[in-house]
Amino acid sequence: MAGTGGTTSTGVTGSRLALRVESVSKRFRQGQRDLLTLDNVSFGLEVGRFLVIVGPSGCGKTTLLRILAGLERQDEGQIWIRPNADGHPAAAMVFQEQSVFPWMTVRDNVAYGLALRGVGRRERSQVAERWIRSVGLEGFERAYPHQLSGGMKQRVSIARAFAVDPDVLLMDEPFSALDEQTRTILQQEVSSLSEQQQKTVVFVTHSIDEAITLGDEVLVMTHRPGRVKRLISVPFPRPRDVVGVRANPQYGELYEEIWQLIAEEVQHGPREE
């Protein structure tokens, strides 16, 4: 099927690469055997680009993100993330589950990563309060997570990730547990904030809609073992209106293209390993 948005090369050679994944494979021990989860995955991403990874359940999306975050180690291949000159962390992760600490106030949750880096109390508070405002939680600085809605807790997680000023944001289905309105509002905020702050983002989702509305590029993975099936450019410029983009005729074409790619994988099932 013809690509509506054009297929990009997995071997990006631009001089401003933010990260590169090269021939990465990963096995997990399951019972008596090693299960190949990621198989020879390679792609590159330029600074400031928003990459969304989609693929059938269990194809290794979270595993790939965890490898990028340094939480898991690949068996083969290499990961390169542009070194950060000012000592800020190269990458920060926003998880699927609400990962805020229930015993900390909103301010302390947002400042947590800064405290780990040894930033002084005064600066921590200033930075945290700025990010609390940016994600629309002004007035809730002293609130505890149990006093917040699910959407508000995810805003805290997002503010915490931005507050440490990482070059790369790794987001694992951060909106999957939210209602549609809250999800749309947070999609717009993450799209706008990442664009304003020139962050490079790797974002995992099950939603084709979310992939197209947020992504500059969509990486479609195969069924387990996960491989790169297609890397698709989304032709909509940013800053982007995440609702307005759905009215673009190319949105429907891209949706159909990505749906077909995933459906092929789901129908074929896992490969021999």
**Which chain residues interact with ligand ATP by CB under 6 A?**
28, 30, 37, 57-63, 224
Q: Contact at 8 Å (CB) between 54 and 258?
A: yes
Q: E strands along 97-239, which residues?
A: 168-172, 200-204, 217-221, 228-233
Q: How far is the CB of 60 from ligand ATP (least distance, A)?
A: 4
Q: Between residues 18 and 221, which has the closer beta carbon with respect to ligand ATP?
A: 221
Q: Between residues 59 and 110, which has the closer beta carbon with respect to ligand ATP?
A: 59
3-class DSSP state of 8: coil
Q: How far is the CB of 221 from ligand ATP (least distance, A)?
A: 7
Q: Any idea which residue has 């993975």 for tokens? A: 221
Q: Between residues 37 and 194, which has the closer beta carbon with respect to ligand ATP?
A: 37
Q: Contact at 8 Å (CB) between 153 and 100?
A: yes
Q: How far is the CB of 30 from ligand ATP (least distance, A)?
A: 6
- DSSP assignment of 222-254 equals PSSSB-EEEEEE----SS--TTGGGGSHHHHHH
Q: Between residues 243 and 266, which has the closer beta carbon with respect to ligand ATP?
A: 266
Q: Contact at 8 Å (CB) between 217 and 232?
A: yes
Q: Between residues 175 and 236, which has the closer beta carbon with respect to ligand ATP?
A: 175
Q: How far is the CB of 224 from ligand ATP (least distance, A)?
A: 6
Handedness of CA 94, 196, 55, 174 (dihedral sign): positive
Q: How far is the CB of 206 from ligand ATP (least distance, A)?
A: 6
